[in-house]
Structure 1
Amino acid sequence: MQTLSNWQDKASEGKLKSTKEYDPQLMAIIKEKKCSSWGLKVAKDEHEVLKKATACFAKDSSWSML
């Protein structure tokens, strides 16, 4: 998908030949892809934090009585 992102950057800067108008559906897909990628990164980061917290609580025996 990096190629699609490069295309969008060049098109936005007017560096692509004969691109005067952009397909609105394509632009919507590109925007959705960027949002999805960001959301996935956040979810992965949160997952890592939860794994570390779970491991930490598992080691501490005082939490097991709750």
Structure 2
Amino acid sequence: MGTIGARKRADSSIAYLAKIVIKRQDEVVYRENQTFDRQHVASAWIAKRETGSANPARRSRP
């Protein structure tokens, strides 16, 4: 599941930090985050990354 948090930059503009954390059996197996200027872009990035094909942690292990 992804989350988005807003933070203030040094120049007083707002940045949106998108985070994805995937856990298996209460253990973090994959974590990724990225900062965006616009919230809707951050939401689109989370949606894209949470699909199975774009996320290496969702691939089956041999």
Normalising by structure 1, report the TM-score.
0.31
**Greater relative contact order (Cα < 8 A, sep 6+):** 2
Larger radius of gyration: 1
The structure in which a higher percent of residues are helix is 1
